[in-house]
Amino acid sequence: MINLFLMRRYNRLSDIYPLIHVVDDDPSVCKALKRLLHSWGMQVFTFASGEEFLSAMAGSHIPDCSVIDVHMPGMNGLEVQACMARAKLDVPLIFMTAHDEAGVEEQALKGGAVGFLRKPFSDEALVGLIRLCLNHGFRPMKRCS
């Protein structure tokens, strides 16, 4: 059996430390995901709200991929996605949620999201989606007008 530590050590994504943004109003989720993604060799910035995330995006902190909660106080994840589309911010998004609400996953994916995870999800599921973005240069699909 392969030791998980060795697997992580030899399966790092790259030496350039991709930048991942995590957006969730729950500090414990942000902390856990930051630790996980750091262990896979990624730089991580966390944001407690969609507004804080968008403010950072207006600056020079454009990530390689963003992981965003659907349900947050203030602006929700789908509203953030819509703002990014209007601003033509071409960043792969992975949504996560603890709620099973009809139509939300379809709306996120139709808007160009890479994936949609239901909490609790496995480390491998999240890292796999991020690797998909990074290794294949995934960018959100362009919408037809």
pLDDT at residue 19 tops 70: yes
- pLDDT reading at 80 higher than 90: yes
**pLDDT of res. 61:** 74
For domain 16-135, which CATH number applies: 3.40.50.720, 3.40.1520.20, 3.40.470.10, 3.40.50.2300? Answer: 3.40.50.2300
pLDDT, one tens digit per residue, over 30-78 is 999 999 999 999 999 999 999 999 999 887 778 999 999 999 999 999 9
What DSSP assignment string belongs to the chain? ---HHHHHHHT-S-TT--EEEEE-S-HHHHHHHHHHHHHTT-EEEEESSHHHHHHHHHTT---SEEEEES--SSS-HHHHHHHHHHTT----EEEEES---TTHHHHHHHTT-SEEEESS--HHHHHHHHHHHHHTT--PPPPP-
